[in-house]
Amino acid sequence: MSIWWSLHLRREAASVPLARRLLIGTMETAGVDPDISYDLSVALSEACANAVEHGGDMARGGPGSEAYRVTAYLDGEKCRIEVADAGPGFPASSASRPRPPIRPAHSDAENGRGLCLIQELADHVHIGNKPGRGGAVVSFDKVLKWREGAAPMMAV
């Protein structure tokens, strides 16, 4: 069995725990190991917080600039999560100017740790821009482990 869901959320701080709780509840129901659920929920929280903080485009000002989308797929042995916003996106890269790598923030910095945390907690991470309309897309996945003694719903 596969489970997927998608949320269209307002760019408000209160939306971050909502997405996190839905992910944790889905994984708990599916029988996913709590440590894996925790890692993915922290990564999701960081991606959502980035969308809330950076994901609007004041120049466009349309209703889409005040929202972002979270989609989660639990399919077989893997969970894939995507967070997409309508902001300015990441700096463009080209053959002559590749996108700079994500570097860890200084230990005393208050911001700048989100993307590094996502990379540490997930197995595969893709960070880029939406084609066409603009906006950032952060997607990541992780191989799932199952709670001891729980028959995974995914195998049904």
**CB-based contact 139:18 (threshold 8 Å):** no
Structure tokens at 9: 């959320």
pLDDT in tens, 56-109: 865 555 555 689 999 999 998 999 999 999 998 888 764 444 555 565 655 555
d(CA 152, CA 144): 10
At residue 156 the predicted structure's pLDDT band, cuts being 50, 70 and 90, is very low
Question: CB-based contacts of 146: which residues, under 8 Å, 6+ apart?
Answer: 31, 32, 33, 152
pLDDT tens-digit map of 117-133: 999 999 999 999 988 77
**pTM as predicted:** 0.83
Contact criterion met (CB below 8 Å) for 65 and 88 = no
